[in-house]
């Protein structure tokens, strides 16, 4: 199959999924409800305390991770539950199905992150030191979550206890990407260190910021590499996963 056919088929799958989602709100409502509820619980629970940036980053990614666990498997599960998977298998190249579903999951998780991250900053009263870095960590973290979740969703979609299996399988696979996202987000949230005062503290703060920025750049590269690896290996494996 030529690449233009492949791209056109993947785009058709994406458009179909977006249209279906728009009409049913099958995944988006559940994910958003979960994310907002979890955020509210976290913010009310920790509001009396002053949290370190790494704890704040961990809270944010816990919410985003479990939102992904709630919503991202649905693109495949729904095809099996509605018994439309057979029509898709009969007509569509497996790679196009995977890419279409991946793009849909990126859009879905991206939409959730677009709501959750600003809401998190407001509820937790955080002014990120490096908004650009936070945006980069969110975008690449979303890509990492979507790329790993999509192939796992395809694997578990025909299992009976798919909800539990999905979370169990997804956690170890997602962990490397998740920890890079948390570290990059920590660096983005951490204010220019130097909580002390004076010239020495300022110098230490500058050095700390430079080190943190370098580390964060490495984490962003690791996130990008993780996503590329997941997508490439998924494309290689998907034919076996999708076929009977």
Return d(Cα 133, Cα 135) in angstroms, integer: 5
36 binds other proteins per the rule CB under 8 A: no
Shortest distance in whole angstroms from residue 88 CB to other proteins: 8
126 binds other proteins per the rule CB under 8 A: no
Among 3, 49, 83, 199, binds other proteins (CB under 8 A): 83
Comparison of 87 and 206: residue with beta carbon closer to other proteins:
87
The answer to whether 152 and 169 have CB atoms below 8 angstroms apart is yes
Among 41, 82, 164, 168, binds other proteins (CB under 8 A): 82
Burial class (CB in 10 A: 0-12, 13-18, 19+), 125: exposed
Shortest distance in whole angstroms from residue 6 CB to other proteins: 10
Shortest distance in whole angstroms from residue 11 CB to other proteins: 8
Burial class (CB in 10 A: 0-12, 13-18, 19+), 147: buried
The answer to whether 129 and 189 have CB atoms below 8 angstroms apart is yes
Q: One symbol per residue from 142 to 171: x for binding other proteins (CB under 8 A), - otherwise; what is it?
A: ------------------------------
Helix 94-123 and helix 74-81, axial crossing angle in degrees, nearest 10: 130
Shortest distance in whole angstroms from residue 112 CB to other proteins: 21
* Torsion over CA: 43, 55, 63, 214 (sign): positive
Contact footprint for other proteins (CB under 8 A)? 1, 5, 8-9, 12-13, 15-16, 19-20, 23-24, 82-84, 86-87, 89-93, 96, 243-244
């Amino acid at each position: 199959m030529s690449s233009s056919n492949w791209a056109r088929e993947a785009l058709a799958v994406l458009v179909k999924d977006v249209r279906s989602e728009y009409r049913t709100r099958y995944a988006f409502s559940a994910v958003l409800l979960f994310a907002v509820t979890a955020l509210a619980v976290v913010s009310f629970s920790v509001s009396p305390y002053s949290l370190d940036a790494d704890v704040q980053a961990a809270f944010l990614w816990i919410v985003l991770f479990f939102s992904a666990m709630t919503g991202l498997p649905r693109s495949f599960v729904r095809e099996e539950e509605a018994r439309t998977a057979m029509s898709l298998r009969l007509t569509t190249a497996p790679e196009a199905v995977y890419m279409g579903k991946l793009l849909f999951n990126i859009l879905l998780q991206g939409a959730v992150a677009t709501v959750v991250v600003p809401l998190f900053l407001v509820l937790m009263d955080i002014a990120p030191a490096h908004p650009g870095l936070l945006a980069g960590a969110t975008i690449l973290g979303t890509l990492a979550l979507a790329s790993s979740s999509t192939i796992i969703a395809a694997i578990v979609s025909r299992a009976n206890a798919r909800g539990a299996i999905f979370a169990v399988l997804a956690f170890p696979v997602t962990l490397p990407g998740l920890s890079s996202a948390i570290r990059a987000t920590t660096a983005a949230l951490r204010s220019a260190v130097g909580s002390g005062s004076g010239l020495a503290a300022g110098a230490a703060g500058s050095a700390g910021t430079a080190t943190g920025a370098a580390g964060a750049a490495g984490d962003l590269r690791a996130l990008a590499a993780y996503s590329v690896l997941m997508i490439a290996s998924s494309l290689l494996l998907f034919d076996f996963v999708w076929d009977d």
